[in-house]
Structure 1
Amino acid sequence: MALMGQSRWCDLIQDINRGDFTEIEVLLEELDTRLWPMLADHLFNYCDEVDPSALLSWASNRTIIGERVFAEHIIKRLKFGDRVICFHRRFMDPFYARTTSSLELYSAADSTHREQIVCSIMDQFLSDFVENIDYCPVQIASHPNFVVQPVDDVLDDPLIRIILNITVPLMKDPNGADISDVTIEEEATIIMKDCAGVLEDMCAQKKRKRSQQVSQLYDKWSGKLNQEMRDTLNPESVATALRILQAQVKPNEKHVKREEIKFLKYLERIPGHTVQSSPSRKSSALRDSKRSILLKSLSGEVDKSQALIDKIHQTRWKATKVSDRVTLYSSSLTGMSARMDVTLDSEDVISILRSLFNVPLLFAHWDFTDLDTSDTHRRTRFRRNFPFPFSPRECCVYTRIEMLREGEGVLLIDDDEATPPLDGYVRASAYLGGAHVQRQEGSSLVRFLLHCDLGGSVPQWVMNMQTKETFKLFTELASKLAEMK
């Protein structure tokens, strides 16, 4: 694979700003398909800050099978975008308010009357949905020449995609995105899940038996929903839809610059695409070094990947248990800290990182809820009650995967300070942690560390208890990872 300089990536950014994704198509041919989800993350995050309409139009028009697979990664990320949140906020806020206000009545009702309450809520919800469908950005993800068959007794495919991929998840998990200012009672999520079931039932296209009340709701709204979506997907409406899409969220220059820096840093680290320094290129290397420093100063953050690697290799770590392939370490770091080194037979670094990514690793035996997730990013809230007289603890963390080069990558776990703490809980802090995975001859070395502070006044024996639980988690994790080939 040819070596490419940083100028290529700067040119690529400029091309994207012009709506030209030719260089992305070239990059897709060069990249391992396992790296596509990460590229999709960075590409969409940048375009979402600038204007995602060109990217979504490009994605919707892919005809080559490989490019269509990548396009699906882009479309999936749309539900985390600012425009989709703005669209759903129009009818989800009233929906959340109605379910919360109906909680007392719902709790006292029998099953028949509960269904009546749910259908009443959904009747108003569907009315709001139809009223605001012109603001839906998802029509940009459909081909402008999309043709639908006029069959009013089933929901059309574009509607099903919107409802099942975006609306239903937001109903089932109202905390899954920063979408509402309404205070949502936890008990109200039961009603929301029932409402989500009605939508799922509507998308089943008469494959399920419906009650009379749900059937009446379906008959009332299916035709209207289909007609409104067809009008929205009409090629003559696309230009208007684009203007609405662009007007919903104005670009924030600071956010645009932040995402541009992140995107550039990612591109510069793509395996096989890094710039190699040589004596004949000292001036170029010097410029690259200065540019790297500039990027760090602009982003206001250090290179956390390198910081994690440095932290793993600190001399404070002392081996406490050594076996054939696993070594456990403790340290004198503030708070609770634990580390594990394990050698695996697998050479598939990306699969190892994904296996680690899919496990809620920070706190052993804590309850957890994913606030939002993608293929390479995860924001999670952990909660746990402690023995009297200690207050319950909670912590929010941000986990992400970064490939450093071919055969080497990191899983970064860091504190998510932006998420507000829960009432009645003491906020615990997550210090920089995660895993460094390096491919070796016929195996991979995984170095993993966790480091946190439980917050408040916690005696050392409680910290030690948490450390022991973490070591047990490490041992179980090592056994699962050892099964990878």
Structure 2
Amino acid sequence: MGFKMRYLLAGVLCLASCWAQAAEDWQLAKDEDGIKVYLQAVPGSPYKAYRGVTVIDADMGTLRRLMDSAADACTWIHECKEQKLLRREERQAWTYTRFNTPWPVTPRDCVVHITEHEESDGAIRRELEAVPGYLPDEDGYVRVTRVDGYWGFVPRDGKIEVTYQVHTEPGGSVPSWLANKFVVEAPYNTLRALRERAQRAQ
């Protein structure tokens, strides 16, 4: 291999390494009550992605039951007003959710496609993807245009490490103060409420 080719290859590998590092550039935004919340800038979007991580003293079956009960999910999902199951096919589900928003912001709704994957070690990952055109728009609500994320459940010494990671494009106009507040409160409050429900159910 010639010198120029080796130089070019080294440059490409360096760029790839830098891009990979940037992709994992999560900044700790909150660390409280056993819950850590990280934020990450998303290229081309004014809204940051969030990642919440905690450990829940519950078994996988309890967490799966809580996840599968769409109607009860609003008892632990941050600012959830109403949620219902639209369709289920084996390891896939489609849900419709309405969210509360402070005045004067128009309330949001969202249709999400959930795909579950189970690993050989017992870990579970539920991929989340918005499908805004799945239902017609609802009067009085702005449809969330993008949701990319997942729920991760990994067994750890008799407990479950739970990761909740999402990037959302809420549609319409959202004040920066509300967006910045939401990306920290949503994972923190959701994980805290889920942990309380799961541990009570043991």
State TM-score, norm by structure 1. 0.31
Among candidates 306, 322, 341, match of residue 31 of structure 2: 322
Aligned residues: 173
Identity across aligned pairs (percent)?
21
1:372 match: 87
CA RMSD of aligned residues (A): 3.3
Deviations 1:363-407 (A, max 9, x none): 623333332346744322223464555444322112232212232
Does the CA contact (< 8 Å) of 1:316 and 1:331 recur in 2? Answer: yes
Could you tell me how far 1:341 is from its partner in structure 2? Answer: 1.2
Q: Residue 457 of structure 1: SS of its match in structure 2?
A: coil
Match runs of 1:80-229 below 5 Å: none
Comparing both structures, which one devotes a greater share of its residues to helix?
1
Does the CA contact (< 8 Å) of 1:357 and 1:401 recur in 2? Answer: no
Is structure 2 residue 178 aligned with structure 1 residue 462?
yes
Does the CA contact (< 8 Å) of 1:353 and 1:410 recur in 2? Answer: no
Is structure 2 residue 119 aligned with structure 1 residue 404?
yes
Does the CA contact (< 8 Å) of 2:117 and 2:125 recur in 1? Answer: yes
Deviations 1:455-478 (A, max 9, x none): 122221121343354132222122
The 2-side partners of 1:403 and 1:453 are apart by 28
The 1-side partners of 2:147 and 2:123 are apart by 22
Q: Residue 462 of structure 1: SS of its match in structure 2?
A: helix
Does the CA contact (< 8 Å) of 2:122 and 2:155 recur in 1? Answer: yes
Does the CA contact (< 8 Å) of 1:435 and 1:446 recur in 2? Answer: yes
Taking a change above 3 Å as real, the CA distance of residues 379 and 429 of structure 1, as seen in their structure-2 partners, is same
Does the CA contact (< 8 Å) of 1:336 and 1:466 recur in 2? Answer: no
The 2-side partners of 1:387 and 1:322 are apart by 25
Does the CA contact (< 8 Å) of 1:319 and 1:327 recur in 2? Answer: yes
Does the CA contact (< 8 Å) of 1:369 and 1:381 recur in 2? Answer: yes
2:196 match: 479
Taking a change above 3 Å as real, the CA distance of residues 326 and 462 of structure 1, as seen in their structure-2 partners, is closer
The 2-side partners of 1:388 and 1:326 are apart by 29
Among candidates 339, 345, 348, match of residue 51 of structure 2: 339
Among candidates 106, 127, 130, match of residue 415 of structure 1: 130
The 2-side partners of 1:468 and 1:324 are apart by 14
Deviations 1:48-104 (A, max 9, x none): xxxxxxxxxxxxxxxxxxxxxxxxxxxxxxxxxxxxxxxxxxxxxxxxxxxxxxxxx
Q: Which runs of 5+ in 2 are unaligned?
A: 1-21
Is structure 2 residue 157 aligned with structure 1 residue 431?
no
Which amino acid letter does the alignment assign opposite residue 481 of structure 1? Answer: A
1:450 match: 166
The 1-side partners of 2:90 and 2:165 are apart by 22
Deviations 1:413-456 (A, max 9, x none): 21124413315443212422221112233333221223211112
Does the CA contact (< 8 Å) of 1:381 and 1:395 recur in 2? Answer: yes
The 2-side partners of 1:431 and 1:416 are apart by 8
The 2-side partners of 1:357 and 1:396 are apart by 15
Taking a change above 3 Å as real, the CA distance of residues 366 and 437 of structure 1, as seen in their structure-2 partners, is same
State TM-score, norm by structure 2. 0.67
Could you tell me how far 1:336 is from its partner in structure 2? Answer: 5.4
Taking a change above 3 Å as real, the CA distance of residues 481 and 336 of structure 1, as seen in their structure-2 partners, is farther
Bigger-Rg structure (1/2): 1
Q: Which runs of 5+ in 1 are unaligned?
A: 1-312
Structure number with higher relative contact order (C-alpha < 8 Å, ≥ 6 residues apart):
2
Could you tell me how far 1:340 is from its partner in structure 2? Answer: 1.7
The 2-side partners of 1:403 and 1:457 are apart by 37
Q: Residue 422 of structure 1: SS of its match in structure 2?
A: coil
Which amino acid letter does the alignment assign opposite residue 382 of structure 1? Answer: T
Q: Residue 135 of structure 2: SS of its match in structure 1?
A: coil
Taking a change above 3 Å as real, the CA distance of residues 337 and 356 of structure 1, as seen in their structure-2 partners, is farther
Q: Residue 456 of structure 1: SS of its match in structure 2?
A: coil
Q: Residue 134 of structure 2: SS of its match in structure 1?
A: coil
